[in-house]
Chain A
Amino acid sequence: SAVISQKPSRDICQRGTSLTIQCQVDSQVTMMFWYRQQPGQSLTLIATANQGSEATYESGFVIDKFPISRPNLTFSTLTVSNMSPEDSSIYLCSVDQGWAGYTFGSGTRLTVV
């Protein structure tokens, strides 16, 4: 199965700033997915990122707050913009491996102070 490298693994940021999370896959994939997991909660899909097109955002998530780039078939970034303490979460990227299911990165634990 694919191996996903996600970084940073954790960060503490000041409110009002932005953080860009990177996700590198060791094989080419059509779609990449970004999830958020708030403290004590389940995972919520933020958006689906296809190479060469704009990301598709789920209800409650907007591009101005969570801009996504997908420059090629092995890489994607998610930016959390103008952060507030409510953005403190774990952010995860994933890819669909077909019959092998989804593979997830190890996550980025973000704390906004």
Chain B
Amino acid sequence: DAKTTQPPSMDCAEGRAANLPCNHSTISGNEYVYWYRQIHSQGPQYIIHGLKNNETNEMASLIITEDRKSSTLILPHATLRDTAVYYCIVRVPFTGTASKLTFGTGTRLQVTL
């Protein structure tokens, strides 16, 4: 799985958009970009994933650059409950064989009043 680089921490005011960047310059053609978050003392939670097109779901939007070497997770209206560590992971999706998930250090997002 390709390595990712994320800023260690970010702050965001409540109600504003939180834009979390991720660099994955060595991503392979068949690897997807996944985002998870871990709220304090809980298990990580899946947020969104994509290959090359921008994706949106009820939680967030994922913007992947055309060369796929970086991406941005967007929380459109951050709330205090979005305070968490956000992990960007690139990997080949489940194929029926070993598909372990490798976590980097993530970005600690602090949402403030």
Contact = CB atoms under 8 A, between A and B. Distances in A.
Interface of A: 1, 4, 30-31, 33, 35, 42-45, 48, 56, 90, 92, 94, 96-107, 109
Contacts of A42: 87, 103-106
A83 to B, nearest CB: 20
B9 interface: no
Interface string B84-113: 000100000110101111111110000000
Contacts of A103: 46
Given A42-B87, A42-B106, A101-B34, A33 B43 contact: no
Contacts of A4: 43
Given A96-B94, A98-B93, A105 B101 contact: no
Interface of B: 34, 36, 41-46, 49, 87, 93-94, 96, 98-106
B7 to A, nearest CB: 14
Contacts of B105: 42
Nearest to A102: B101
A45 B42 CA distance: 16
Nearest to A93: B43
Nearest to B38: A43
A30 B43 CA distance: 20
A30 B46 contact: no
A94 B43 CA distance: 9
Given A42-B106, A96-B94, A101-B49, A106 B100 contact: no
19 contacts: A4-B43, A31-B98, A33-B100, A42-B103, A43-B103, A44-B103, A45-B100, A45-B102, A92-B43, A94-B44, A96-B101, A98-B93, A98-B94, A100-B46, A101-B46, A102-B36, A105-B43, A107-B41, A107-B43
A55 to B, nearest CB: 11
A30 B96 contact: yes
B55 to A, nearest CB: 12
A99 B93 contact: yes
Given A56-B98, A94-B101, A96-B99, A43 B44 contact: yes
